[in-house]
Structure 1
Amino acid sequence: MPNNRVDVAMRELIASFSSLQAADVIDRLARTAAAVAGTAYSGFVRVDALRQEACPVHVHAPPGDPLRVRRWLIESGVLKELAASPATVRLARDPLMGEPGFLAAPVPAAAWDHLFVWVAGRGFCDGDEHLLSRFATASGRAMEAASGLEAAVRLLRGVRAFRPV
């Protein structure tokens, strides 16, 4: 009977830790960043360890992408600017030139080399920059927590698999 209790407890623990997936956390964080910034566009960009290339990890955009931010991210040179920058990047909005307005803040996260959370779609000010910077810190903590839970699930499954019957 005690072994049955252990089995049930382990299954419940693994199930509760497994309910949080890192990809879902990133999606929720991106959606919330857009809401916090009062825009419809947001996402995460990862920069390689050598700071030579950047690539979008997640993009949140409204259906149809009316401002064409997905395309702008790839074609504008903003990814190269993020790769070279260790700090916040703010680009002015200029609809005539196809510039949607862009703000990106570095995410302090040990699990990622260099990561930025970004928002786009309007002009941004110093207050927005401060708010996004605070959100970036919270995002880093959330991503590390999700990653830690995934690692804990792997370890718990190992404990369960090798537990004496």
Structure 2
Amino acid sequence: MPYNRVDVSMRELISACSGLEAADLVDRLARAAAAVANTSYAGFVRADPLREEARSMYAHTPPGDPLRVRSWLAESGVLKELASAVEPVRMAYDARVGEPGFLATPVPAVSCDHLYVWVAGRDFCDADEHLLSRYAIAAGRALEAASGLEAAVRLLRGVRAFRPA
């Protein structure tokens, strides 16, 4: 089979653009959010388009989840609050009643309506809220870029498939 410069370059381009795994990106974004907030807990929550329900999309917790943040998310009512929230949501840390301390802020991303990045595990202040809001902007841009690369890969595969031999 003769060397086909177009096939090689298209294959290389598709490979370069598809190197980003969405699940890996979300995991890395959550870990970075935890590091930025100086805690071990972080994740993402997505609300439905009608803002009636929210569900945990991803949660990064330390092994064993000592503060039981995963179950707290499901049982506390914070998901219901995030479903309708348009501003950051902050809840105080109170170990006596099982409140792990929580901060969530909207992620501005066109491809992910009503997405929130959250951190938990300590008391949070206004400075933490400001920092997490700035981080949410960067996370939104990263998610948008990943979405754009996925769309580009689909288009490139279509170009390659329909290119005359």
Q: TM-score range by the shorter chain?
A: over 0.9
Matched, 1:164 2:164: yes
Report the equivalent of 1:15: 15
Instruction: Please give the root-mean-square deviation of Cα atoms over the aligned residues, in Å.
Output: 1.3
Give distance in 2, aligned partners of 1:23 and 1:110. 18
CA distance in 1, matches of 2:118, 2:32: 11
Normalising by structure 1, report the TM-score: 0.97
Q: Determine the structure 2 residue equivalent to 1:115.
A: 115
Show structure 2 runs of 5+ residues with no match. none
Q: 1:94, 1:100 within 8 Å by CA — same for their partners in 2?
A: yes
Aligned partner of 2:151 in structure 1 is 151
TM-superposed deviation, 1:23? 1.5
Partner of 1:72: 72
In structure 2, what residue type is equivalent to 1:150? E
In the TM superposition, what are the counterparts of 1:23-34 in structure 2 within 5 Å? 23-34=23-34
| 1:81 shift after superposition | 0.8
Structure 1 unmatched ranges of 5 or more: none
Matches within 5 A, 1:46-125: 46-125=46-125
* Partner-residue secondary structure (3-state), 1:158: helix
Contact map agreement 1:21 1:150 (CA 8 A) in 2: no
Counterpart-to-counterpart distance in 2, 1:75 and 1:157 = 44
Compute the displacement of 1:24 (Å). Answer: 1.3
Paired residues, number: 165
- Which residue in 2 is equivalent to 1:141? 141
